Chain A
Amino acid sequence: MSFAATAYVIRAEMAKTLRIYFAYPIIMVYWAIFPVLWVFPFLFQGKAMVGSTTSAAFQQLTGSGNYMAFVLIGAMVSNFVFSGLWGVGNSLREETYWGTMEYIIASPTHPLVVLIGKTLAEAAVTTCIVTMQATTISLLPFDISFTVAKVLPVMLLVVLLMVGFYGFAIAFAGFTLLIKEVHGWVHTLEWVFFLFSPIRYPVQVNPIASFVSVLIPLTWALVAIRGIILLNRRAVGLWRISGILLAMDAALLVGGYFTFVALERKTRRDGTVGMH
């Protein structure tokens, strides 16, 4: 396929994915509001355990005693990861449910190109949602402010985080072709991220979680983003962490590509594409 034809397919897939999104507009409202609502139990848990909005123990671990701001930033950034996991990782399974999977496989387009279209649509929607969340949160009394000087390096980190993560999500999409029922696996992965990266708690509190977290790009991105937003440490470690994320991106993109191609080929050879 020529480059122009590939670009056309990507654009068509993006348009299709966005059209499906907007067919259920309530989903957008849901994603804009509820991830922030999920944070409230942590606020109440904090109030019950320490009796105030700051914690000395938390400050020792993270540099900031403002545990609410810690959890809110985790919730916002993890949105990118989880929407990628659901929107890209689970997307081929959805095509199976809709009865359109065979058409995609039989079309003269590589399924990877279709996945790139889905990925771009997903990234656009998530960016809009997180922007809405950030605006809402900055208006609430959580001591979180988003200035341009903070937002620009944060955007760089988010892009670096997502490039690698979409590589992982593409590999996961290949996995769905193989094992079919992945709804539960996506949930488990979601919770593995909650457990082994500092989305909701500082992983230093447990040695195993702390050790595993080093292998997850989200950990590096969250540490740097919180440093910028909460501790005003803009320059410290930004380039070092960007370098680490770039290396992880390269590994995840290459690994994701080859995993997807291998699993897709195996599924075709086994003749199990149309199976549920």
Chain B
Amino acid sequence: MTDAGPEQANADTRPLDHSTTWPLFFRLRHYATAVWAENIKEWKLELTYPLDFLRSLVDPVVYLLPYVFYGIALVGGRFSPNLQKLVGTTDIVSFITIGYVFIGFMNMALWAMGFSLRKEQMYGTLEPVFAAPVPRWVFTMGMSMHSILHQFLMILVQLLFILAAFSLKVNPLGLLPSLAMIGLMLVALYGIGMIMASTTLIFKQGWLISEALGSLLMVVTPIAYPLAVLPVFMQKAALAVPTTYGILAARHFLMGEEMGFSVLTAFMRVAVLCVVWVVFGLVIFTAIDKSTRRSGTLSHY
């Protein structure tokens, strides 16, 4: 309307989220409530299908075993002299298990967060969720909180099974520093998850982006092999992926794998990746969210 005054124009562009005018503490509390509510909603949805929930706890064990058996078939036993030469450890079962246990968090970022908006769209609830008086990133953070908790449960089952079936040889003192590194890795993965969630708004069939990126990251991340066996360009790409440091450091602390760089360097690099991925993720998410709403394609399939 051409006769609308400047006040009217401002009112039209003002964010719906009025909490942005609140003091910081109240604003954070408001966001935390929304994150928790989203987390609870996801748990309720998940537990509505109890069989599916039980299956999701058994899945990680089924995922892991083919990789372990493949390694045993290659070597003809549990210990590989070639692995010893490359990273200073021979036990392929412990090596592969630790790699696969922690890569689960990457799937969390790519799948749970990446697919979250598409799921809401399928349920027909995307528009009400987006109309809620909180920023959109709060919504994806709630999704990621649920996924992280779920992932920890899955890891617990995976470790219990492997401990019972094979005697996993790890250094218990390495557990705390490993978890510290995994915590940092999760922050960086949240940034990647934000990008994944936003691409769904444009491409709709978001699973494809998650699958494609997941497949690429599974190749460059040294899950069941050390970085040294990758071609040079892949080794360089691996250094920009937080899961590389998470897995290498976890194996370093738990079973003495030689990383090729110091522990301090690993922590510093992941800290930098956290900042880069989270900022990049938020910028991309905000830009795509704005563009989708402007073009009116939010509800398109």
Q: Please give the residue numbers on chain A whose beta carbons come within 8 Å of chain B beta carbons, in ascending order.
A: 24, 26-27, 30, 34, 37-38, 40-42, 44-51, 55-58, 60-61, 67, 97, 179-181, 184-185, 187-188, 191-192, 194-195, 199-203, 205-206, 209, 276
Interface SS of B by simple majority = helix
B60-74 contacts to A, CB under 8 A, are 62-63, 65-67, 69-74
Q: Please give the residue numbers on chain B whose beta carbons come within 8 Å of chain A beta carbons, in ascending order.
A: 49, 51-52, 55-56, 58-59, 62-63, 65-67, 69-77, 80, 82-83, 85-86, 92, 96, 122-123, 205, 208, 211-212, 215-216, 218-219, 223-226, 228-230
Complex formed: what's the CA distance from A270 to B73 in Å?
Answer: 49
Complex formed: what's the CA distance from A60 to B72 in Å?
Answer: 13
Contact A34 B226 (CB under 8 A): no
Contact A48 B82 (CB under 8 A): yes
Complex formed: what's the CA distance from A103 to B77 in Å?
Answer: 56
Complex formed: what's the CA distance from A46 to B229 in Å?
Answer: 10
Contact A50 B73 (CB under 8 A): no
Partner of B74, one of A45, A180, A187: A45
Contact A200 B66 (CB under 8 A): yes
Complex formed: what's the CA distance from A104 to B72 in Å?
Answer: 49
Partner of A67, one of B58, B62, B74: B74
Contact B76 A49 (CB under 8 A): no
Complex formed: what's the CA distance from A37 to B234 in Å?
Answer: 13
Contact A50 B208 (CB under 8 A): no
Given contacts A191-B66, A201-B69, 11 further A-B contacts (CB under 8 A): A37-B219, A42-B70, A44-B225, A45-B67, A47-B229, A50-B75, A50-B82, A57-B73, A185-B52, A185-B55, A191-B63
Contact B75 A41 (CB under 8 A): no
Assess A34 versus B212: contact at CB under 8 Å? Given A40-B219, A48-B225, A195-B66.
Answer: yes
Partner of A37, one of B92, B215, B226, B229: B215
Tell me the minimal C-beta distance from A85 to chain B in angstroms: 15
Q: With contacts defined as CB atoms under 8 Å apart, how many contacts are there between chain A and chain B in the complex?
A: 121
- The residue in B66, B215, B216 that gathers the most chain A C-beta atoms within 10 A of its C-beta is B66
Complex formed: what's the CA distance from A259 to B123 in Å?
Answer: 29
Residues in chain A near residue B230, CB distance under 8 A: 44
Complex formed: what's the CA distance from A195 to B73 in Å?
Answer: 13
Complex formed: what's the CA distance from A130 to B226 in Å?
Answer: 31
Assess A30 versus B211: contact at CB under 8 Å? Given A48-B82, A184-B59, A191-B59.
Answer: yes
Contact A45 B70 (CB under 8 A): yes
Partner of B58, one of A26, A56, A179, A188: A188
Contact A202 B59 (CB under 8 A): no
11 contacts between A and B (CB under 8 A): A26-B205, A27-B208, A37-B216, A40-B219, A41-B225, A48-B83, A49-B75, A55-B75, A57-B74, A57-B77, A201-B69
Residues in chain B near residue A201, CB distance under 8 A: 66, 69-70, 73
Complex formed: what's the CA distance from A65 to B77 in Å?
Answer: 16
Complex formed: what's the CA distance from A34 to B51 in Å?
Answer: 30
Partner of A58, one of B52, B59, B65, B74: B74
Residues in chain A near residue B80, CB distance under 8 A: 48-50
Contact A49 B82 (CB under 8 A): yes
